Amino acid sequence: MSVTRAPRKLYVKSYGCQMNVYDSQRMADVLAREGYVETATPDDADVLVLNTCHIREKAAEKVYSELGRLRVLKQEAARDGRRLTVAVAGCVAQAEGEEIIRRAPVVDLVVGPQSYHRLPDLVARAAVEGRVVDTEFPAEDKFDHLAAPTRAATRSRGAAAFVTVQEGCDKFCTFCVVPYTRGAEFSRPVAKILAEVEDLVAAGVKEIRLIGQNVNAWHGDGPDGRAWTLARLLYRLAEVPGVARLRYTTSHPRDMDDALIAAHRDLPALMPQLHLPVQSGSDRILDAMNRKHDRAAYLRVIERLKTARPDIAMSSDFIVGFPGETEQDFSDTLALVDAVGFASAYSFKYSPRPGTPAADSDDQVSEAEKAERLARLQARIDHHAAAFNAATVGRTADVLFENPGRHDGQMTGKSPWMQAVQVMAPPSVKGEILAVRITGTGTNSLYGALVVANGTAPLRHDGADHGTTPDPALPGAPDPAVRAASGGH
Ligand code: 5AD
Ligand code: SF4
């Protein structure tokens, strides 16, 4: 890094999944080694990265329109005598490659998810050679070459951190582009994951979110010489001093093995919340999707999870209007939503992805029907989410505080069930896990009041009930106790 000139500035915009958020941080870390600092706005950036998502149509379209807008920014930078390097990363980069260079003249470099460790070199090459594309699946492990974040970078990113443990997918659902853009399943070794988690907690992180496209297919060789599954890894990570909370996402129903379900019973640090996409409630459609599980198998997994951890908050993904989906198939999906009672769920209209088997089906569902089904499904999901949230009112739960809240004097954090909770609290609670009495529900979040050891809330919460007696935990949950549970558990 040159000491004589101002640091070059980097702006990364992330679309789509949590793995993209993680990858964006890794890109920032690898460029930090070259002297780049992150800037909060694209206006003064020297390098601008769009970390894209290809999972559904609109996401890629958004990237192209964003690139259109960036032309103006690049011209303005040139007028000021600055060079703005525009990079497209992520799954659109992987899928479209050269096509991006053809369609968007503003782009200097296209980099696929397996090549982020080469970013500094690619930026340098783009400056000298002109536009470059790197969408290889290199033999070397990119994780070996990606930089670890500095303590300061980790601290600035908050008390909950992602750790990629697994990448890629071998399931080949017929609607999905992931096996093509992220490649075959790959599990990171135990020692690397452990080292990363230890670094994160040393910098103050309290909650570790293990991520992977198919995270519960993770496997590795344990230091005990045995083959480890995700369950074993979770038990090990729960022993790391300072790891107060663990979550993992996204899982496939087929890979929810007995040990993983037992981990939800045994590990207080493993939060009572699981995202387990089902996509459809119809066996006919699940089969056409090549999901490798049927409705009954999914419901059995849910039942066992609820036995292991009765208060578990389940969430899921749904696709409506998959080719050939009839009204009967769709009502099977609605019935499954009622049977599970999801705490939250995402639902999408089927979008044909080029190169995937379902895209070629001549049995496509009309746009109007997709829109109508989506609205009905979302209403049903919202109903159950509201019921789940309402059931937490009056309870006391640990909240990990993350950011300033919606209003002055408020801080917002996450409940064990992943609900956002707005609480009147001083900024100093950021990064702490504190007991909160849930007092009400709002749009997209809950309201709560801090509980202290003698049972009084130290700060007023507007309009809230200031009950002084902590309630018992949700049925079946370990007693969250009235305590400041920062660090450890
Ligand atoms: N069309 C609509 N939704 C899709 N998803 C994945 N591929 C498609 C597609 N082609 C949804 C699935 C998946 C989530 C991440 O995105 O529900 O679980
Ligand atoms: Fe896509 Fe299916 Fe793999 Fe999930 S399990 S990433 S939906 S192919």
For residue 68, pLDDT over 80 is answered with yes
Tell me how far the alpha carbon of residue 3 lies from the centroid of ligand 2, in angstroms. Answer: 46
319 CB within 6 A, ligand 1? yes
Length of the chain measured in residues? 489
Nearest residue (by CA) to ligand 2, atom 2, is 173
Beta bridge partners of 404: 411
> CA dist 298 to 147, 171, 291, 337, Å?
39, 16, 11, 12
For residue 489, pLDDT over 60 is answered with no
Q: Looking at 10-19, 58-67, 185-194, 327-336, which range is the least confident one?
A: 58-67
Mean pLDDT score, 360-386: 97
176 CB within 6 A, ligand 1? yes
CB-based pocket (< 6 A), ligand 2: 169, 171-173, 176, 178-179, 213-214, 252
Evaluate the CA torsion angle 431, 436, 441, 447 in order and state its sign. negative
For residue 25, pLDDT over 80 is answered with yes
> CA dist 291 to 186, 214, 254, Å?
20, 13, 9
Mean pLDDT score, 29-39: 94
What percentage of the chain reaches a pLDDT higher than 70?
91
pLDDT of residue 336: 98
Mean pLDDT score, 260-264: 98
Burial label, 429 (beta-carbon count in 10 A; 0-12, 13-18, 19+): buried
Range picked from 256-260, 354-358, 466-470 for highest mean pLDDT? 256-260
378 in Cβ contact with 344 (< 8 Å): no
For residue 454, pLDDT over 70 is answered with no
205 CB within 6 A, ligand 1? no
Q: Which residues contact 463 (CB under 8 A, 6 or more apart)?
A: none
Mean pLDDT score, 218-237: 97
What percentage of the chain reaches a pLDDT higher than 90?
82
For residue 266, pLDDT over 80 is answered with yes
pLDDT of residue 476: 36
Mean pLDDT score, 443-452: 93
Tell me how far the alpha carbon of residue 211 lies from the centroid of ligand 2, in angstroms. Answer: 14
The mean of the pLDDT values for the chain is 90
- For residue 176, give the ligand 2 atom closest to its CA: 1
Residue with tokens 């049972």, as numbered in its chain: 455
More confident: 479 or 79: 79
- Within the chain, how many helices (H) and strands (E) appear? 15, 21
Nearest residue (by CA) to ligand 2, atom 1, is 176
171 CB within 6 A, ligand 1? no
251 in Cβ contact with 274 (< 8 Å): yes
Q: How far apart are CA 477 and CA 360, in angstroms?
A: 47
For residue 453, pLDDT over 50 is answered with yes
For residue 162, pLDDT over 60 is answered with yes
Q: What is the 3-state secondary structure (H, E, C) of 329-374?
A: HHHHHHHHHHHHCCCEEEEEECCCCCCCHHHHCCCCCCHHHHHHHH
Task: Note the pLDDT tens digit of each residue in 7-18.
Answer: 899 999 999 889
For residue 202, pLDDT over 90 is answered with yes
| Helix, strand, coil share of the chain (percent; to 5) | 40, 20, 40
